Amino acid sequence: MQSDPSPKPLLATLQGHRQPVAPIWLMRQAGRYLPEYRALREEKGGFLALAMDSDAAAEITLQPIRRFGMDGAILFSDILVVPMALGQKLWFEAGEGPRLAPTVQAREVLESLQNNAGVLEPIYGTIRRVAPLLPPRTTFLGFAGSPWTVATYMIAGQGSREQAEARRLAYRDPALMQALVDAIVEQTITYLLGQVDAGVEAVQLFDSWAGSLSPAQFERWVIAPNARIVAALKGKAPIIGFPKGAGGKLAAYARETGVDALGLDETVDPAWAHAALPKDLPVQGNLDPLALIAGGAELDAAIDRILAALAERPHIFNLGHGILPDTPIAHVEQLLARVRGGRA
């Protein structure tokens, strides 16, 4: 950990310095719950068109900073740009989500993919536009999907709650799975270093489907690849690891990956996390997104429990997963007022 803290509260927390008021940002804070986002999407087109339009994506990244004064600005993009850079075609089906082709279920398919890293240039352009426009206290966060989660999409061609195709492939042909994960690791390292060079100050690794794996598979497909990415970025920018659903495997993930901070999903008891995780490790989380929708006294109580449980370690307040589209703006304002205790 660094001895000289950043003047930016969120970045200082990632450096291991506990703040008098927990800094706050929300996963998916630039998105569908904001009327200004919906208006821009109506004008510009679909999600992917927005993400690959540097001017539009910069505007969306800045929207929650202008409205709420969040301590962190999260780059508006998508984890599936890495498969695009590896040569898959990405599109979004209305009402159904992302689609990728060709699906990687045989070695010859993986070997046929043509590197298309130039597709990432508009994202670096977004970062270069946003960085000089952020308030002095605001930390600029980049991100990527972790290799296991990205691989599940590349194999199935779409999202899957059970990740059955990827899990079967990992058992049936571990050499192919390893080759795919290796390709994702290398592209992700290049991508994140590019984000840092363009102006982000910290990054988050989203492993949305980490919870579907057995302990041995978790070690191989979550911990080991993420450790390689963290090692490649050490000294470049702090890294938040977010292995959603990892549960009791969180402590091993924290120790073995070397992440600078650990994101907790809403199923993790923050008091347990404080007791089980390395003493000075910064943590992030972990309000249930549905508690934010509920609002009122239940929201206040949930916020207070998290703040109390994590008061003795560096803590970034966040949700346990992404903010939901039907979240009332007033409840986000209630959350910010409660966490900040009156600070604007």
Sequence spans of domains, the chain? 9-340
Residue 221 has pLDDT above 80, yes or no: yes
Asked if residue 3 has pLDDT above 80, the reply is no
pLDDT at 1: 46
* The predicted structure's pLDDT at residue 161: 76
Catalytic residue among 153, 167, 191, 313: 153
Tell me the pLDDT band of 220, cut-offs 50, 70 and 90: very high
- The pLDDT, as a whole number, for residue 344 is 41
Instruction: Give the burial string for 27-40 (b: 16+ CB within 10 Å, else e).
Output: bbbbbbbbeebeeb
**96-131: per-residue pLDDT in tens?**
889 999 999 999 999 999 999 999 999 999 999 999
At 319 the pLDDT is: 98
Angstrom distances, CA of residue 129 to CA of 53, 226, 261: 11, 29, 27
Nearest to 127 by CA among 68, 55, 178: 55
99 as an active site residue: the answer is: no
pLDDT tens readout for residues 24-67: 999 999 999 999 999 999 998 889 999 999 999 999 999 999 99
Residue-wise pLDDT for 234-283, tens only, equals 999 999 999 999 999 999 999 999 999 999 999 999 999 999 999 999 99
Average pLDDT of the residues of the chain: 96
Predicted local distance difference test score (pLDDT) of residue 32: 93
Q: Looking at residue 96, what is its pLDDT?
A: 80
Active site residue 41: yes
Percent of the chain residues topping a pLDDT of 90:
93
What is the mean pLDDT of the segment spanning 61-85?
Answer: 98
Mean pLDDT of 203-207: 98
Q: What span, in angstroms and rounded, lies between the C-alpha atoms of 55 and 37? A: 13
CA distances from 28 to 2, 84, 112, 250 (A): 28, 21, 33, 22
Set 18, 41, 137, 305: catalytic member = 41
Backbone angles phi, psi at 45, to 5 degrees: 125, -155
Residue 169 scores a pLDDT above 60: yes
Q: Which two tokens stand for residue 107?
A: 């070695």
Catalytic: 28? yes
Name the 3-class secondary structure at 205: strand
Taking only Cα atoms into account, the Rg of the chain, rounded to an integer number of angstroms, comes to 19
Three-state SS for 79?
Answer: coil
Catalytic residue among 53, 71, 78, 207: 78
Position 2 scores a pLDDT of 47
Which of 18, 32, 67, 340 is the catalytic position? 32
pLDDT of residue 44: 86
What fold is seen in the domain 9-340?
Answer: TIM Barrel (3.20.20)
Over residues 138-156, mean pLDDT: 98
Neighbours of 331 (CB within 10 A): 18
Dihedral-angle region of residue 327 (phi above 0 means left; psi in -120 to 50 means alpha; beta otherwise) = beta
d(CA 318, CA 31): 15
Residues with Cβ within 8 Å of residue 329, at least 6 apart in sequence: 33, 34, 67
On whether the CB atoms of residues 18 and 67 are closer than 8 A, the answer is no
Q: How confident is the model at residue 343 (pLDDT cuts 50, 70, 90)?
A: very low
